[in-house]
């Protein structure tokens, strides 16, 4: 069980390409607060800033202005090294294109994020087996990504994102390249993990059916929050 944090974006803007006339204002002053264990969807037209927002939440990129706070502490102002250490420990990221390393097996892909922290080989091996079990891929451990279906690849990516039991799980169009059967399986899996581990789950999607499964629904437009609907008290 992870002990979740309250995660906040405070006055966040993101400008790509400098402040000159060529700069793209991808986010224009976003303030949001996520309670631990929340399940949130983010929708909005192409180019409205969804991936940018997720990259900032995932500390893959830093805001131009504003803060990203975990329990009140700004986690976006550290060095790149500090940010990546924090990310590895606390955040899991799932992309539309699975980004598995093609020259590594399923087992090795999932093991990668464990290496810096879990020194013992046997311990790592056991952890990877448990993760592959949880995504129903124990029998594919020795396969290479090219030998898997799209749904299987995405499940490996999920196992990898979960390796260090993150308290925040970010997914950018996780079902975008899957057929509806596999999309359902991947969503079920994410939701089980969210429920059982009380992981905060934020899913960007163009698919209204996927979005409907969340309990809080954000819509972005033109770098701003257009609506923020909650089904919970």
Asked if residue 47 binds ligand ATP (CB under 6 A), the reply is yes
Whole-number Å distance between alpha carbons of 8 and 57: 9
Q: Helical H runs in the chain?
A: 50-57, 80-90, 106-111, 121-134, 150-162, 180-197, 208-212
Q: Which of 187, 101, 180 is closest to 148 using CA atoms? A: 101
Asked if residue 46 binds ligand ATP (CB under 6 A), the reply is yes
Q: Do 7 and 168 touch, CB atoms closer than 8 A?
A: yes
> Which residue's CB is nearer to Mg ion, number 51 or number 199?
51
Q: Do 165 and 132 touch, CB atoms closer than 8 A?
A: no
Asked if residue 200 binds Mg ion (CB under 5 A), the reply is no
CB of residue 62 to ligand ATP, shortest distance in Å:
13
The 3-state secondary structure of 178-212 reads: CCHHHHHHHHHHHHHHHHHHCCEEEEECCCHHHHH
Whole-number Å distance between alpha carbons of 211 and 231: 13
CB of residue 53 to ligand ATP, shortest distance in Å:
7
CB of residue 52 to ligand ATP, shortest distance in Å:
3
> Which residue's CB is nearer to Mg ion, number 51 or number 205?
51
Task: Report the site for Mg ion in 15-54 (rule: CB under 5 A).
Answer: 51
Whole-number Å distance between alpha carbons of 110 and 113: 7
Asked if residue 208 binds ligand ATP (CB under 6 A), the reply is no
CB of residue 96 to ligand ATP, shortest distance in Å:
8
Q: Which of 94, 104, 86, 65 is closest to 201 using CA atoms? A: 94
Task: Report the site for Mg ion in 44-103 (rule: CB under 5 A).
Answer: 51
> Which residue's CB is nearer to ligand ATP, number 54 or number 128?
54
Chain center to CA of 25: 23
Asked if residue 105 binds Mg ion (CB under 5 A), the reply is no
CB of residue 49 to ligand ATP, shortest distance in Å:
4
18 touches, from Mg ion, ligand ATP, none (C-beta below 5 to 8 Å by class) = none
Give the DSSP H/E element, type plus range, for residue 228.
strand 224-230
The residue within the footprint of ligand ATP, chosen from 11, 17, 142, 208 (CB under 6 A), is: 17
205 touches, from Mg ion, ligand ATP, none (C-beta below 5 to 8 Å by class) = none
Residues that bind ligand ATP (CB under 6 A): 16-17, 24, 26, 44, 46-52
Residues that bind Mg ion (CB under 5 A): 51
């Amino acid at each position: 069980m992870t002990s979740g944090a309250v995660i906040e974006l405070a006055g966040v803007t993101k400008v790509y390409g400098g402040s000159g006339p060529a700069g793209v204002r991808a986010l224009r002053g976003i303030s949001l607060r996520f309670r631990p264990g929340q399940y949130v969807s983010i929708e909005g037209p192409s180019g409205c800033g969804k991936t940018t927002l997720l990259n900032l939440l995932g500390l893959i990129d830093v805001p131009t202005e504003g803060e990203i706070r975990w329990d009140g502490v700004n986690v976006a102002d550290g060095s790149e090294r500090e940010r990546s250490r924090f990310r590895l420990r606390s955040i899991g990221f799932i992309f539309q294109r699975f980004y598995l390393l093609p020259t590594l097996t399923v087992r090795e892909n999932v093991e990668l994020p464990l290496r810096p922290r879990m020194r013992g080989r046997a311990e790592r091996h056991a952890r990877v087996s448990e993760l592959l079990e949880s995504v129903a891929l124990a029998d594919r451990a020795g396969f290479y990504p090219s030998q898997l279906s799209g749904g299987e690849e995405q499940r490996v990516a999920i196992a990898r994102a979960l390796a260090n039991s993150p308290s925040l799980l970010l997914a950018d169009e996780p079902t975008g390249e899957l057929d509806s059967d596999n999309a359902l399986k991947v969503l079920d899996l994410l939701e089980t993990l969210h429920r059982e581990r009380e992981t905060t789950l934020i899913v960007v999607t163009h698919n209204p059916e996927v979005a409907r499964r969340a309990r809080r629904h954000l819509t972005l437009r033109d770098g701003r929050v257009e609506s923020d609907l909650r089904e919970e008290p």
